[in-house]
Amino acid sequence: MAYSGQMLAMFPGQGSQFVGMGRQLISEFPVVKSVFEEAEDAAKLSIRRLCLDGPEDELKLTANTQPCILTVSVATWRVLQSETGVVPSLFAGHSLGEYSAVVAAGKLDFARAVYLVRRRGEAMQAAVPAGVGAMAAVVNVAATDLQARCADASETGSVVEVVNFNSPQQLVVAGHKTAVDRLCVGLESSGLRFVMLPVSAPFHSSLMQPARVAMEPLLTESKFHKTPTRIIPNLTAEISDQYSADLLVAQINSPVKWTQSLESAYAAGCRDYVEIGPGKVLFGLARKTLPRDVQLRHTDDVRETITALS
């Protein structure tokens, strides 16, 4: 009997990639072969080779990472569907992961999504010259406090903003490197913790406006299907069965409201959460965000997840 309950299917974003991801899927589940073939045709990229063999420095290039994570996530989703018949009540994805969520919810064709995220990765990387932007994760600072600190550290032509609400304990800032550095000097002097992230592009900040301009026509000309499945977009953190290109257009240079998305699912009665795709990042964030009466799962071992959901 397939699992039937209030479940949020969560799909990871950039940073969850690793060389070797998808190996179990490819070796154990024949359904996966067609997923990788379709993705490679759409992206004009050797996705299977990058996922299984890397090299790591090639896999972590934004334009490569995004279609690779999307492919592994959708392949994992299709395996869970074929093996368990699971029907989540809600779908959500972190940044890039929202494309996986929209595909899994039946609102966007997989091949089109792969093409879009390949172009999205190229546009995001090209939006800001290497070395100009920066990102940092900040630990145990209230959102209102950090937003005020960002405002103080920003000046004309050099801004830093809160761009990811990952959990109550972890926020991410992004912007011009000069402004991020000023912010971090202030955090350090206050005895507050932060970690510089190994990226040069300030994702989800206002500096991504050129990427938004580049992606808007590609997204608006894409066909989004009307389905009864419900999604929690990063942009609004509100549950809806209505979905349009505008949500993905605005997402490019707007904050990811992940904490708020998890809280919306919980408020709607959702008590089961499963991360579908490579890694366990969202599993960890959910554990830090949600009350203890929830069931959290991930798909690091797909067979184990199938057993739990069957």
Structure tokens at 209: 């406006």
Q: Strand 193-196 relative to strand 133-139: parallel, antiparallel, unpaired?
A: antiparallel
* End-to-end CA, the chain: 6
> Per the residue annotation, which of 204, 205, 254, 264 is the catalytic one?
204
Q: What does the DSSP assignment read for 151-196?
A: HHH-BTTB-EEEEEEEETTEEEEEEEHHHHHHHHHHHHHTT-EEEE
- To the query of whether residue 158 is one of the catalytic residues in this protein, the response is no
Q: Strand 295-298 relative to strand 90-93: parallel, antiparallel, unpaired?
A: unpaired
Contacts of 49 (CB under 8 A, 6+ apart): none
The residue written with tokens 């045709």 in the block is 41
> Per the residue annotation, which of 89, 95, 205, 261 is the catalytic one?
95
Alpha-carbon torsion (166, 284, 92, 5), positive or negative: negative
- To the query of whether residue 298 is one of the catalytic residues in this protein, the response is no
Cis peptide bond prior to 55, omega within 30° of 0: yes
Cβ–Cβ under 8 Å, residues 110 and 59: no
Cβ–Cβ under 8 Å, residues 165 and 256: yes
| DSSP 8-state assignment for residue 231 | B
- Catalytic site residues? 95, 204
